[in-house]
Structure 1
Amino acid sequence: MDNRSEAFRGVAGCLVVAAGGVAGMLAWTPYGRHGLVSGFEGAKEWNVLWLGLPVMTLGGMAAGLTLAALAGRKWRRALGAATALAALAGFGVAFDVLEGPPLACGPGC
């Protein structure tokens, strides 16, 4: 493999990972807007920003790494990136990082 081909693959991999990070930020945007702008009774949900944004961005980057590794047939790297993605998803679920403000509950809740 020559240097140009290797350089092209490296740049393409970086672009895929960057696109994954941007996709993660875009996926976070509705939650961030909901938690920061229209919080319950004017209260802002800062955990949406401090936990949700990094988890979604890193998750998008891990997904990009997984795809780039799979495209390059690097199975161990793909497995490692998929493991990181699963760990981020577990962290997000455990700490409920995309939880918005509590919903108003009527009688009988």
Structure 2
Amino acid sequence: MENRREAIRGVAGCVVAAAGGAAGMLAWAPYGRRGLFGGFEGAMEWDVLRLGLPVMTLGGIAAGIALFALVQGKWRQALGAAVLLTALAGFGVAFDVLEGPPPMCGPGC
């Protein structure tokens, strides 16, 4: 009976992590679409894909794991995932991967 509970918890944890990764990708999508297809003078900005997508995806996974650990009452695991999430956010800010898409230039540019 205990093995079955652990298996269900494991599957639920994987589902939560996958949902967090998908949420991170969905949060990245508007910025990625604009950066890849509408960069400065039509040029593609590859940093949006190389840095932005992994940071947002891993951030979503870390947030899902932290939330799942909090629900289960595992504070150390939640703290570890929160530290990872903070490190990813710091990396994103340092390399401007979490900064919003550049503003669209109006007709007077």
> Which structure's relative contact order is higher, taking Cα pairs within 8 Å and 6+ residues apart?
1
- 1:51 alignment counterpart: 51
**Count of aligned positions:** 107
Q: Structure 2: any 5+ residue segments left out of the alignment?
A: none
- 2:23 alignment counterpart: 23
- 2:73 alignment counterpart: 73
- TM-score normalized with structure 2 length: 0.90
Deviation at 1:78, TM superposition (A): 0.4
RMSD over equivalenced CA pairs, Å: 1.9
Q: Deviations over 1:9-66 (max 9, x none)?
A: 1100110000000000000000000001111111111111000000000000000110
Contact 1:36 1:44 in 2 (8 A): yes
1:1-109 matched pairs, under 5 angstroms: 2-99=2-99, 100-101=101-102, 104=105
The 2-side partners of 1:45 and 1:103 are apart by: 15
Q: Structure 1: any 5+ residue segments left out of the alignment?
A: none
Structure 1 runs of 4+ off > 3 angstroms? 98-107
The 2-side partners of 1:55 and 1:67 are apart by: 18
The 2-side partners of 1:33 and 1:17 are apart by: 24
The 2-side partners of 1:41 and 1:73 are apart by: 51
Deviation at 1:84, TM superposition (A): 0.1
